[in-house]
Amino acid sequence: MTAARPPGEPRRVAYLYLLPAFAVYAAFLLFPIGRAVQFSLYDWDGLSLGRWVGLDNYAAIVADEGLRAAFGHALVLIVFYALGPLVIGLGLAAILNHAKVRGLGFFRTVVFLPQVVAMVVVAVAWRRVYAPDGTLNTLLGALGLDALTRGWLGDYTFALPAVGVVGTWFETGLVTVLLLAGMSRIPGELYEAARLDGAGAVREFFAVTLPSVRGEIAVALTLTVIAALRTFDLVYITTRGGPGDSTSVPSYEVYHRAFGLSQVGSAAAIGVTLTVVIFVISFGINRFADRRVT
Amino acid sequence: MISRGERVANYVILSVFAAFALFPIVTILAAALGPADSGGTAGLGNFAAAWEIGRFGTYLRTSLMVSAFVVVVSVLLSIMSGYAFGTMRFRGQSVLFYLFMLGIMMPSEAVAVPLYFDLRTLGLIDTFWSVALPQVALSVAFGTFWMRAYFRASNRAIVEAARIDGASTWRILWQVLVPPARPALVTLTVLVFMWTWNEFLIPLIMVTSESLRTAPLGLAFFQGQYTSGFTLLAAGSVIVATPVVIFYLFLQRHFVRGLLQGAVRE
């Protein structure tokens, strides 16, 4: 966010150009988020008259073990959605950037493909992979690792990591493409200089590549962390929060409470909290990136 | 300068990852083309069966209508609002811009619940509008940001020349600024189409009648009904995914280029 003035001169007509977009935006996003804050202060079942409870719904997020767990699961998913893809994506992009690999275009298309496929379809496909008689267990059996086979999504310990791996699969392509864009802007002389100084591939990566793509890392982290915190379709289709509540996440709780348990106030409070968490983390990542650059 | 060993290692790593990326997609394609669970036919017949039994024709039509509406309206509104933010100066500019920025981060999970209850009061639940309009709002926030970045970087001299020739702001926008913006607009269109087609929560909450189900929602319900077999479910999944994949593959070159230019431009 620069403080620089936009070009152009004072123009009242600007308001007319803004009006249509702002009207839809205000009616269907700004107003509802205000209403969400209002709902969150009531104990309301969606039908009868609500009862004012102040901040009780927010206190419950801290006190209720199940809700605390849901937010905790979202944090675990960040590791799979954001950190995993970042590490893998850095490696892939570094290779793609200057290894002069044949079939670069094909590879870029393939890794980005998961982003394009609807999450519902992704979830259906991965359910098949994880099923007791699914592809993963068949593969393990063929490798002689029968001891490891299980119903992955029904396992208390492995269900959440199993959902997380889908996130890694889904986000890595996006991260790779973004990082590749940043790396392709690094002047070739920097690499030649590093190689002449006797740096190997690893030294070169840490000395030249990594510092040059901070901006792209920030963008990639912002997008993937938000995606992790917002996970809904995937959980809805694969586990519905189970087994037990071992894979419940905040956005699933919002849906479940509002439309399954008729606890609209509590659902709204979770939604508002989720929004605040997303704002704080996004600003944090971007401030961190800005400070490091200057 | 790259050693043979390093080169081989690179190919191995890339191949392993490509396999990982394609594995679930191949799984589902193979299942869709494989023999039906009930021992019926293999091959393309499964798609016809899924289309028939799963009513994917209806769902695709709804998805196409919603997506077309959201793309056209939100791109038009974003062009206009991005134009104002990118090339004009006015009171309250930064406050308004930050308001739009909030919308980029706002999760639909937070607004969907109050929207449901307010739209229910207005009698708009279970209509085309309850699915389409919230998504226009979500897309317009990003679109404004995207087009603002583009118009800010546009050529000022040509705009000034057109102004001196007496062109109105409206004509300058559509005749001077929009034509060269085609790459940025293609990227925005692909993104909005992709998000709208794939959106799940908003249709899930807003719609109860089957004729208004979008394709992903139809697939989710189909999954609930067909727990026994996988072939038809896989075929249905392919049907739901295909329009966006085709759109992406078709515009891939332009799309990725636009994405790369736009991502870190701020």
> What value does the mean pLDDT of chain B take?
88
Measure the N-to-C terminal CA separation of chain A; round to a whole number of Å. 14
Closest chain A CA to residue B141? A25
Higher pLDDT, B44 or A44: A44
| Mean pLDDT, residues A96-118 taken together | 82
Q: How confident is residue A7, by pLDDT bands cut at 50, 70 and 90? A: low
The single-letter DSSP state of residue A43 is E
Q: How confident is residue B37, by pLDDT bands cut at 50, 70 and 90? A: low
The residue among A16, A39, A120, A290 with the most chain B CBs within 10 A of its CB, best to mutate, is: A120
pLDDT surpassing 90 at residue B249: no
* Confidence at residue A48, expressed as pLDDT on a 0 to 100 scale: 85
* Confidence at residue A8, expressed as pLDDT on a 0 to 100 scale: 64
Cβ–Cβ below 8 Å for B31 and A250: no
pLDDT surpassing 70 at residue B260: no
The single-letter DSSP state of residue A199 is -
pLDDT surpassing 80 at residue A21: yes
Cβ–Cβ below 8 Å for B88 and A11: yes
pLDDT surpassing 90 at residue B154: no
* Confidence at residue A276, expressed as pLDDT on a 0 to 100 scale: 95
* Confidence at residue B227, expressed as pLDDT on a 0 to 100 scale: 61
- Report the range of poorest mean pLDDT among A88-102, A154-168, B209-223: A88-102
The pLDDT tens digits for B46-77 are 888 888 888 899 999 999 999 999 999 999 99
The single-letter DSSP state of residue A154 is G
* Confidence at residue B157, expressed as pLDDT on a 0 to 100 scale: 86
| Mean pLDDT, residues B29-39 taken together | 76
* Confidence at residue B228, expressed as pLDDT on a 0 to 100 scale: 61
> What value does the mean pLDDT of chain A take?
89
Question: Measured between CA atoms, how close is B205 to chain A, in angstroms?
Answer: 8
Higher pLDDT, A39 or B248: A39
Q: How confident is residue A204, by pLDDT bands cut at 50, 70 and 90? A: confident
| Mean pLDDT, residues A1-18 taken together | 72
CB-CB neighbors (< 8 A) of A22 in chain B: 81, 96, 100
Of A10, A22, A121, the CB nearest to B241: A121
* Confidence at residue A160, expressed as pLDDT on a 0 to 100 scale: 96
Cβ–Cβ below 8 Å for A278 and B93: no
C-alpha A140/C-alpha A125 separation (Å) is 18
C-beta atoms surrounding A79 within 10 Å: 14
| Mean pLDDT, residues A83-108 taken together | 85
The proportion of chain B whose per-residue pLDDT surpasses 90, expressed as a percent, equals 54
Torsion angle, alpha carbons of A82, B113, A114, B212, to 10: 180
| Mean pLDDT, residues B114-135 taken together | 95
Cβ–Cβ below 8 Å for B109 and A18: no
Give the number of domains in chain B: 1
Give exposure, B57-81, as e/b (b: 16+ Cβ within 10 Å). eebbebbeebbebbbebbbebbbbb
CB-CB neighbors (< 8 A) of A271 in chain B: 107, 109-111, 113
pLDDT surpassing 90 at residue A253: yes
CB A113 within 8 A of CB B25: yes
CB A36 within 8 A of CB A271: yes
* Confidence at residue A171, expressed as pLDDT on a 0 to 100 scale: 95
CATH number of the domain encompassing residue B126: 1.10.3720.10
Given the cut 0.90, state whether the ipTM is greater than it. Answer: no
- Report the range of poorest mean pLDDT among A250-254, B81-85, B224-228: B224-228
> A65-291 — its CATH code?
1.10.3720.10
Q: How confident is residue B155, by pLDDT bands cut at 50, 70 and 90? A: confident
* Confidence at residue B75, expressed as pLDDT on a 0 to 100 scale: 97
Q: Does residue B234 belong to any structural domain of this protein?
A: no
Please indicate if any CB of chain A lies within 8 Å of the CB of B201: yes
pLDDT surpassing 90 at residue A86: yes
Tokens of A228: 């992790």
CB B126 within 8 A of CB B82: no
| Mean pLDDT, residues A41-55 taken together | 89
The proportion of chain A whose per-residue pLDDT surpasses 90, expressed as a percent, equals 59
Question: Measured between CA atoms, how close is B262 to chain A, in angstroms?
Answer: 10
Highest-confidence range of A154-163, A282-291, B146-155, by mean pLDDT?
A154-163
* Confidence at residue B265, expressed as pLDDT on a 0 to 100 scale: 45
Contacts of A118 (CB under 8 A, 6+ apart): B197, B198, B200, B215, B216, B219, B240, B241, B244
Of B14, B136, B237, the CB nearest to A95: B14
Domain that holds residue B161: 60-215+242-263
The residue among A1, A19, A28 with the most chain B CBs within 10 A of its CB, best to mutate, is: A28
Query: Taking a contact as any Cβ pair under 8 Å apart, which residues of chain B between 51 and 80 contact chain A?
Result: 73, 77-78, 80
* Confidence at residue A293, expressed as pLDDT on a 0 to 100 scale: 46
Higher pLDDT, A154 or B39: A154
pTM for this model (two decimals): 0.90
Angle at the Cα of A171 (from B99 to B257), degrees rounded to 5?
75
Angle at the Cα of A125 (from B110 to A96), degrees rounded to 5?
90
pLDDT surpassing 90 at residue A232: yes
Higher pLDDT, B36 or A107: A107
